């Protein structure tokens, strides 16, 4: 708990208004969406994707009375009982406060950095130390300038050791992280290629990352991952194959499922088996072994525990549940910080009315009053209709929530009572420590997914949205296109994320798509591109906003509203400036205005048009003509009606190539899903990955043929794999006979023979593969589209609905 007046100096304030200097706070907040109550917190108006100052009022309403801001123009007259501290940079102010908090910490703090493997090494170390030490760790991959600050805030001296991850993307960043973490021990995991992370050279990158260790007494590294001159430093404790390594690898041999290593530690020889065969996992495991040895864990314990390591799957998974429900599966680990993140995600889900939580006991935590108090705080951030607790220790506890709580002794106990619980119309978060194996519960509650799935990474979608936001002015609104089942990626699953990220508008093609979103709890304004007059009832019932593209549809709509006595219904006027699809042509504007001026039933929310070739260099002049024509007609409408409305014309490629045409709003479509033919300096992440598995493998001699019509003639003895995806799934027949390429275990293979309805065959003669192996159907979707003469839009939206969508966050 801190008193504002005591710490105000830390921020080096430019100006202060302290109406209640003795107010205290114990929580940090920066995001009003994630805030249940603001009492007891200090709010930082960060300049992130959106300007935090815009949310000061909302934070105040939620109870916040302490604010750190940077906008000197901010008017605080209406917040008479609140404290305001103006600083130059709110993020740096937050970091200075965390540094101050760090002063009170005496336990060893281990700082972990490197290009790859930071999160894995952190999570594994924490698993390996369970029961031996009380470990505090930064949650998930919270390793950024903000993530590290938040990670450290809850650290107390009640732990034996803290594991904190640090990640940077350019020079001059690490010292800010170092100042907060001040690692007494350091771990460097690996050094990747320079260009991947925004550095000019490997040397520069290593030097920057190394800044984390300026105060560390020891630095643990794989010697192969750092440049030679670093190794001579006496603080280095390395593993590797050379004489100078403290932990030496004498021999290493991988079998089918594990790797046997012969090691020598300070001249003591021993063997270890690591349950992985890929190099990255073996390296990360050996880094963990070195750290454990150096902090005094015995070889016997290390040997036992290393053998039990599992690959990490820390992604939150959102699945379709049985009986009208959604299941969020996060059964990998359980601690307060990651519970908090998972609850935030639960909070974003609007598709069903009820929210429920299945929560296991916290491994390696004493359930002290202090801890339970924190747990209570975390749980109170979501309106939970039911809480199901798993673990003997919970039995003896009294909870003062006014909620429906059930406690089960063990996962088995819950399993045998599962049929009595009701998850209908609910979103259920399953959160548990690995030991409790709650994934068995999740498996029982979810619909089976078949071998062919489309994996959707919602975090990548969020990332792409941020990328495009960085290209538009903060005053320009963002409309996100979710037509055609969000380009094949989902309905409420995608809309929830967009709503949570404060886009201004959603757009669907048809009324049905819009009403489905409304039924799933989406509150954002929704524009409908092709409203059909037969669906006007639904437009009104679900509060959708139609595109008006012709005099005919306008008349029908106005008449309908007249009969219902409704005025000022929001509509959007579409102008045809060259696409020649839907919309008013130049010579129809006068008639449009005549009707609009003589009615009060509709009110124009926006006027818009669509570009024909925004990203095509040779169409530059045409695009300019479209802008001109659009602006002149929009102005004409504005003058005639005497009120203003939003104007917009840019789609994805328009956003990037025509910043001069952003106007009041942009309409982001395909870029959101990770495709942009020419994204300039944006880095997009592919959102959907279509996957299947090998069903059968056959050895077929030369001169035989594969599939229908004997098209796939073998010119050599071949190994053929059958996979369960065909044209009925959206894998076009045009991909047959070698045109289509898929990826198996990192290797490319081609189709052989014609594509069948539900299956197709691959020539895997030249690669290693076995039945059941995973197959990535489009390793490069843009290229695949090009190879059959189409565009990614068609491939994405063509993936049929029988292919299950599986959602991940992170």
**Site residues (CB under 6 A) for ligand PLP?**
481, 483, 529, 610, 651-652, 667-671
Task: Give the CA distances from residue 453 to residues 448, 520, 752, in Å, rounded to whole numbers and listed in that order.
Answer: 11, 23, 22
**Residue 366 CB neighbours (<10 A):** 10
Q: Do 325 and 428 form a contact (C-beta atoms < 8 A)? A: yes
Residue nearest to ligand PLP (CB): 669
Strand partners, 398: none
d(CA 334, CA 314): 11
- Compute the residue count for the chain: 810
Task: For helices 90-102 and 145-153, give the axis angle rounded to 10 degrees.
Answer: 40
d(CA 4, CA 85): 10
Of 220 and 487, nearer to ligand PLP (C-beta) is 487
Question: What does the block give as tokens for 804?
Answer: 């299950």
Nearest approach, Cβ of 162 to ligand PLP (angstroms)?
45
The residue among 689, 671, 692 whose CA lies nearest residue 680 is: 671
Q: Do 500 and 458 form a contact (C-beta atoms < 8 A)? A: no
Of 349 and 609, nearer to ligand PLP (C-beta) is 609
Nearest approach, Cβ of 536 to ligand PLP (angstroms)?
21
Nearest approach, Cβ of 462 to ligand PLP (angstroms)?
17
Q: Do 626 and 578 form a contact (C-beta atoms < 8 A)? A: yes
Nearest approach, Cβ of 606 to ligand PLP (angstroms)?
12
Q: State which H helix or E strand residue 700 sits in.
A: strand 688-700
Q: Do 126 and 135 form a contact (C-beta atoms < 8 A)? A: yes
Q: Which of 370, 620, 708, 770 is catalytic?
A: 708
Q: Do 614 and 622 form a contact (C-beta atoms < 8 A)? A: no
Phi and psi torsions of 93, nearest 5°: -65, -45
**Residue 278 CB neighbours (<10 A):** 11
Nearest approach, Cβ of 671 to ligand PLP (angstroms)?
6
**Residue 14 CB neighbours (<10 A):** 11
Of 13 and 613, nearer to ligand PLP (C-beta) is 613
Query: Three-state SS for 267?
Result: coil
Q: Do 388 and 359 form a contact (C-beta atoms < 8 A)? A: yes
Nearest approach, Cβ of 518 to ligand PLP (angstroms)?
20
d(CA 91, CA 246): 40
What is the DSSP code string of 143-183?
Answer: -SHHHHHHHHHT--TTSSEEEEE---SSTT-HHHHHHHH--
Of 150 and 544, nearer to ligand PLP (C-beta) is 544
Say if residue 665 carries a ligand binding annotation: no
Query: Three-state SS for 743?
Result: strand
Nearest approach, Cβ of 508 to ligand PLP (angstroms)?
10
Q: Order of strands, edge to edge, in the sheet holding 259-265?
A: 135-137, 161-165, 109-113, 185-188, 218-222, 236-240, 247-254, 259-265, 268-274
Catalytic site includes residue 793: no
Chain centroid to Cα 642, Å, comes to: 43
What is the DSSP code string of 306-352?
Answer: HTT-------EEEEEETTTEEEEEE-S---HHHHHHHHHHHHH--SS
Question: What does the block give as tokens for 407?
Answer: 């406690």
Of 671 and 736, nearer to ligand PLP (C-beta) is 671
Q: Which of 483, 574, 647, 691 is catalytic?
A: 483
Catalytic site includes residue 319: no
Contacting residues for 745 by C-beta, under 8 A, at least 6 apart? 767, 768, 769, 773, 774
Nearest approach, Cβ of 94 to ligand PLP (angstroms)?
36
Task: Look at the block and give the residue holding tokens 């880095």.
Answer: 683
Compute and round to an integer the Cα radius of gyration of the chain. Answer: 29
Nearest approach, Cβ of 419 to ligand PLP (angstroms)?
46
Say if residue 552 carries a ligand binding annotation: no
Chain centroid to Cα 351, Å, comes to: 19
Q: Do 701 and 688 form a contact (C-beta atoms < 8 A)? A: no
d(CA 725, CA 207): 48
Q: How many CA atoms lie within 13 A of 799 on its CB side?
A: 28
Question: What does the block give as tokens for 174?
Answer: 């690490």
Nearest approach, Cβ of 516 to ligand PLP (angstroms)?
18
The residue among 2, 51, 5 whose CA lies nearest residue 24 is: 2
Nearest approach, Cβ of 525 to ligand PLP (angstroms)?
15
Which residue ranges are tagged as binding site?
581, 757
Which residue ranges are tagged as binding site for substrate?
581, 757
Residues with a known catalytic role: 483, 708
């Amino acid at each position: 708990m801190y008193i504002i007046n005591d710490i105000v100096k830390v921020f080096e304030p430019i100006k202060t208004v302290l109406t209640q200097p003795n107010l205290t706070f114990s929580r940090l907040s920066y995001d009003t969406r994630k805030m249940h109550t603001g009492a007891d917190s200090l709010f930082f108006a960060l300049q992130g994707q959106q300007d935090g100052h815009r949310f000061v009022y909302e934070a105040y309403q939620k109870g916040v009375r302490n604010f750190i801001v940077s906008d000197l123009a901010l008017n605080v007259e209406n917040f008479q009982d609140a404290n305001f501290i103006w600083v130059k940079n709110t993020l740096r102010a937050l970091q200075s406060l965390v540094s101050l908090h760090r002063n009170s910490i005496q336990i060893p703090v281990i700082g972990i950095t490197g290009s790859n493997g930071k999160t894995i090494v952190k999570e594994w170390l924490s698993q390996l130390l369970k029961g031996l030490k009380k470990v505090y760790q930064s949650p998930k991959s919270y390793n950024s300038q903000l993530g590290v600050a938040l990670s450290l805030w809850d650290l107390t001296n009640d732990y034996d050791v803290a594991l904190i991850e640090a990640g940077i993307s350019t020079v001059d960043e690490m010292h800010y992280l170092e100042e907060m973490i001040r690692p007494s021990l350091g771990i460097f995991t690996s050094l990747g290629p320079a260009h991947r992370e925004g550095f000019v050279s490997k040397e520069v990158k290593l030097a920057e990352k190394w800044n984390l260790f300026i105060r560390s007494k020891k630095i643990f590294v794989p010697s192969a991952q750092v440049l030679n001159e670093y190794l001579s430093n006496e603080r280095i404790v390395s593993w590797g194959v050379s004489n100078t390594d403290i932990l030496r690898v004498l021999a290493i041999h991988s079998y089918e499922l594990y790797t046997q290593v012969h090691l020598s530690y300070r001249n003591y020889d021993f063997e270890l088996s690591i349950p992985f065969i890929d190099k990255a996992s073996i390296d990360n495991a050996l880094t963990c072994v070195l750290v454990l040895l150096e902090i005094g864990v015995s070889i016997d314990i290390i040997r036992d525990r290393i053998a039990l390591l599992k690959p990490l799957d820390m992604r939150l998974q959102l699945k379709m549940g049985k009986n009208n429900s959604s299941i969020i599966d996060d059964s990998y680990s359980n601690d307060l910080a990651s519970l908090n993140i998972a609850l935030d995600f639960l909070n974003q889900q609007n598709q069903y009315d009820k929210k429920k939580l299945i929560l296991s006991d916290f491994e390696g935590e004493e359930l002290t009053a202090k801890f339970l108090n924190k747990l209570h705080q975390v749980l109170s951030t979501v309106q939970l209709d039911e809480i199901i607790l798993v673990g003997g220790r919970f039995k003896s506890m009294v909870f003062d929530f006014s909620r429906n709580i059930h406690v089960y002794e063990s996962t088995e106990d819950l399993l045998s009572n599962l049929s009595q619980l009701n998850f209908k119309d609910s979103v259920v978060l399953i959160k548990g420590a690995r030991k409790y194996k709650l994934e068995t519960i999740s498996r029982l509650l979810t619909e089976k997914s078949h071998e062919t799935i489309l994996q959707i990474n919602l975090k990548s979608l969020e990332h792409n949205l941020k990328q495009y936001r960085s290209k538009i002015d903060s005053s320009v609104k963002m409309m996100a296109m979710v037509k055609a089942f969000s380009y094949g990626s989902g309905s409420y699953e995608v809309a929830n994320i967009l709503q949570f990220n404060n886009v201004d508008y959603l757009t669907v093609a048809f009324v049905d798509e819009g009403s489905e979103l409304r039924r799933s709890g989406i509150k954002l304004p929704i524009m409908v591109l092709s409203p059909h007059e037969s669906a006007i009832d639904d437009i009104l019932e679900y509060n959708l906003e139609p595109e008006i593209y012709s005099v005919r549809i306008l008349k029908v709509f106005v008449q309908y509203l007249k009969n219902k006595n409704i005025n000022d219904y929001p509509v959007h006027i579409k102008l045809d400036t060259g696409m020649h699809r839907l919309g008013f042509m130049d010579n129809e504007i006068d008639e449009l205005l005549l009707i609009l001026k003589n009615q009060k039933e509709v009110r124009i929310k926006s006027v818009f048009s669509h570009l024909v070739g925004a990203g095509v260099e040779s169409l530059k002049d045409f695009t300019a003509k479209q802008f001109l024509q659009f602006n002149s007609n929009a102005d004409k409408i504005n003058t005639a009606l005497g009120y203003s409305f939003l104007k917009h014309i840019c789609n994805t490629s328009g956003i990037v190539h025509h910043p001069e045409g952003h106007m009041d709003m942009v309409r982001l479509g395909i870029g959101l899903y990770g495709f942009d033919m020419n994204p300039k300096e944006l880095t997009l992440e592919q959102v959907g990955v279509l996957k299947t598995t090998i069903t059968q493998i056959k050895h077929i001699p030369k001169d035989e043929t594969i599939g229908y019509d004997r098209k796939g003639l073998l010119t050599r003895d071949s190994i053929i794999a059958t996979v369960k995806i065909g044209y009925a799934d959206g894998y076009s027949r045009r991909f047959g006979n070698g045109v289509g390429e898929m990826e198996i275990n990192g290797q490319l293979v081609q189709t052989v023979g014609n594509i069948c309805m539900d299956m197709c065959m691959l020539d895997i003669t030249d690669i290693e593969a076995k039945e059941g192996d995973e197959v990535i159907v489009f390793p490069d979707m843009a290229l695949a589209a090009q190879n059959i003469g189409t565009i990614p839009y068609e491939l994405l939206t063509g993936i049929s609905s029988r292919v299950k969508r599986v959602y991940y966050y992170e």
